[in-house]
Structures are given as structure tokens and as C-alpha cells.
Amino acid sequence: MGKRKLLEIKDLTVKFFTEDGTVNAVERVSFDIEKEETLGVVGESGCGKSVTALSVMRLLPSPPAKITSGKILFEGEDLLSKSEAEMRRIRGNLISMVFQEPMTSLNPVFTIGHQISEAIVLHQKLSKKEARERAIEMLRLVGIPNPEKRYWEYPHQLSGGMRQRVMIAMALSCSPKLLIADEPTTALDVTIQAQILDLIERLKEKVGMSVLMITHDLGVIAEMAKRVVVMYAGQVVEESPCEDIFENPLHPYTAGLLKSIPKLEGKKSRLHVIEGNVPNPLNFPSGCRFHPRCFEAKKICGEKMPSLVEVEGNRKVRCFMRGSFPEEVLAIERAGRN
């Protein structure tokens, strides 16, 4: 059983020590990814999804960021105890990342061919010529027409969709075991988004890698992921198999999020609204972090922080009103009234 797990994040806590105070960007986040699985992480801006991903890559700027506790096990080995030199051998080789902005994540002064072969020469110990052949093969694989010619072009000569393909080609050039895709299609148009998602899906099957898909778009999650982790204000609030989360969301936040997306089908009705704003990470609300916006909130929600508990069907939820909590909650509520 345990052998199937590729990446395990255990109780990860990341803090940013800034002039304005301590930002609890990620708090005790745990989840794992199995081999050849696509795990989706959804959440709104500032919920800590990107910080979690950057922690896995050990790419957080420190200071101000500091991983204060937790473990990140990749094939059983703790990435957090690795030296910088060891990490460099892992990054781009075993774990690769695709970023949101294809415009800014390529170096404008080098040809795309140079940038792809750089990683190959470094990690695969191939000669320059072999690396070039491999890079061209990768460009062909991601569907770039005329790869021999494109190899010598600069990023500005490519469109947004093409640049994202180049990023994917680069990320996959060393056949990583894990691909972290942080909002890979957010900056792209829908038709290009469909192409890129299709590409990731096909390549995943071909090279047999796992994908950590970070996005705020529940539609993308529905199409790609097998399991979903929902984050809110630095914490995991729900973890469920993809089908369950859309059919029967457990956490009120997940439910609210799903209801607030305009639907394509059916009669037009008024949109559901989650009142209020995403909380400021410098100053999270007490108790359950979602309680000021939750329509089901009881007294206890503002006082105590619910923990992430396992419920039936391989699901986890952080809410007093779900799972095995209600008994305990009612008792405290009763006590509070007396």
C-alpha cells in the first residue's frame, strides 16, 4: 500500500515573517499523491496552494518564508532535509513545475532550444547534440509544428499557447515522476486551454507520471483530477474523490463555491453568493476560518478550530457540522447555553 505513494506532505506549516507581521500562509497541510495519479488542489487567491507547491520544490524565498514544521516525503525521502545541491538534482529531473505565466517564466535572451537542452544536458548527462535531438523530440511531442525551426527561436516569437507548450516540453524533458502544474492554463484562452489540458493528460499516460494540478477553476479540476483537495485560508478544508466533491460537497465552502459558478445548462437563476471577502492572511478569523462567511455557522465555529477528520468513503472534511462532529458540537452548544 504505502509503496504506491509518490509524494506525501505531512503537517506542512509555512510562515512568512514580514514587516507587517507573520503571515500564516500554510498551516498543517497534509495530503499525498499516488503514482500516476492526478491530484487537484483548488482554492482562491491567498489560500496557500502555490506556497504549498513551491515548498515541495523548495523554491520559497527564505527569508521571509520559513517552513516551520512538517515533512515532505518524495518516494519516502524527506525533501526538507536535502541540501541545496541534492535539491538541484531533483528539481527539473524528478519533480518539474509549470508556472502560470508563460510570458514571464521563459528567459527572453535565450532561444527556447537552448533553454530546453540546458536541463537535459545538466540532468541526463547527454552531449549537446544528443540534447538538441531530445529537445526537438520534446517540442514535437507537445505539438509544436516545425520543431527543428522553432528550436532556434526566442520566446517573443511564440504565442502564449506555444510558450506554455515549451514550458511543458521543458518540464517533461527529463521524464519527471511528478509534474506540478500551477494554474497552467489560467493565462490562456479557452480553446488553447483545452489543447494544453489534453496534452498534459496524454503525456501523463505516456510517461506515467503523477500530476499535482493547482487551479481555481473547478471545471479544470472536474476534467483532470481523480482526487481533489480544497484549500481555504491556508488550510485543507476538504479532501475527496473528484466525483464525490461535485455530487455531494461536504464543506460549506466547497458547496458554496460550486453553487456560485454560472452554469451553462438549464434555466438561468440567480447566482448563489458566498458573502464577505477572502480573509486576510495576516489576521485570520478565530475558530473555523470560514465561519464569518458560513451560513451554517454555530457558536462553536467562532470559538474552536475544527480539525480535519476522516468520514465515510475516503473523504476528509474540516467542519463541525459534518462528519462525526455533531454529537460533540451539540454537547458544547448545550453547555454554552447553560
Partner 1 sequence: MKEQVVIEVQDLVKWYPVKVGILQKVAGYVKAVDGVSFSIKRSETLGLVGESGCGKTTTARCMLRLTEPTKGRIFFEGKDIMKFDRESMRKLRPRMQVIFQDPYSSLNPRLTVKEIIGEALTFHGIARGRELEDRVGELLKMVGLSPQHIKRFPHEFSGGQRQRIGIARALATNPDLIVCDEPVSALDVSIQSQILNLLEDLQERLGVSYLFIAHGLNVVKHISHRVGVMYLGKLVEIADSEEIYKNPLHPYTQALISAIPIPDPKRKREKILLEGDVPSPINPPEGCRFWTRCRYVMDICRHEEPELLESAPGHKVACHLYKC
Q: How far is the CB of 82 from partner 1 (least distance, A)?
A: 34
The one among 24, 115, 164, 195 contacting partner 1 by CB under 8 A? 195
Can residue 272 be called a binding residue for partner 1 (CB under 8 A)?
yes
Can residue 205 be called a binding residue for partner 1 (CB under 8 A)?
no
Q: How far is the CB of 187 from partner 1 (least distance, A)?
A: 9
The one among 107, 159, 248, 307 contacting partner 1 by CB under 8 A? 159
Q: Tell me, what amino acid is at 329?
A: V
Give the footprint of partner 1 on residues 51-70 (CB under 8 A): none
The one among 48, 155, 161, 287 contacting partner 1 by CB under 8 A? 161
Rounded CA separation 189/160 (Å): 9
The one among 271, 282, 330, 331 contacting partner 1 by CB under 8 A? 271
Select 160 or 302, whichever has its Cβ closest to partner 1.
160
Can residue 261 be called a binding residue for partner 1 (CB under 8 A)?
yes
Q: How far is the CB of 292 from partner 1 (least distance, A)?
A: 13
DSSP β-bridge partners for residue 43: none
- Spatial contact of 50 and 214, defined as CB atoms under 8 Å apart: yes
* Interface map 12-51 toward partner 1 (x if CB under 8 A): --------------------------------xx------
Pairing of strands 315-317, 235-241: antiparallel
Give the footprint of partner 1 on residues 218-247 (CB under 8 A): 218-223, 242-243, 246-247
Q: How many residues bind partner 1 (CB under 8 A)?
A: 46
Can residue 270 be called a binding residue for partner 1 (CB under 8 A)?
yes
Q: Interacting stretch for partner 1, rule CB under 8 A, among 81-89, 102-110, 156-164, 308-316?
A: 156-164
Rounded CA separation 209/166 (Å): 18
Q: How far is the CB of 228 from partner 1 (least distance, A)?
A: 9
Select 103 or 331, whichever has its Cβ closest to partner 1.
103
Rounded CA separation 287/55 (Å): 26
Can residue 197 be called a binding residue for partner 1 (CB under 8 A)?
yes
Q: Which of 185, 305, 296 is nearest to 249 (CA)?
A: 296
CA-based angle 183:155:216, to the nearest 5? 10
Q: How far is the CB of 271 from partner 1 (least distance, A)?
A: 4
Rounded CA separation 127/142 (Å): 22
63 upstream amide cis, omega within 30 of 0: yes
Can residue 145 be called a binding residue for partner 1 (CB under 8 A)?
yes
Give whole-number Cα distances, 280 to 48, 63, 141, 276, in Å.
Answer: 12, 20, 43, 12
Rounded CA separation 266/194 (Å): 23
If you count DSSP H runs as helices and E runs as strands, how many of each does the chain have, helices first? 11, 12
Burial of 117 (0-12, 13-18, 19+ CB in 10 A): buried
- What is the contact surface with partner 1 in residues (CB under 8 A)? 44-45, 145, 159-162, 189-195, 197-198, 216-223, 242-243, 246-247, 256-258, 260-264, 268, 270-275, 277-278, 293
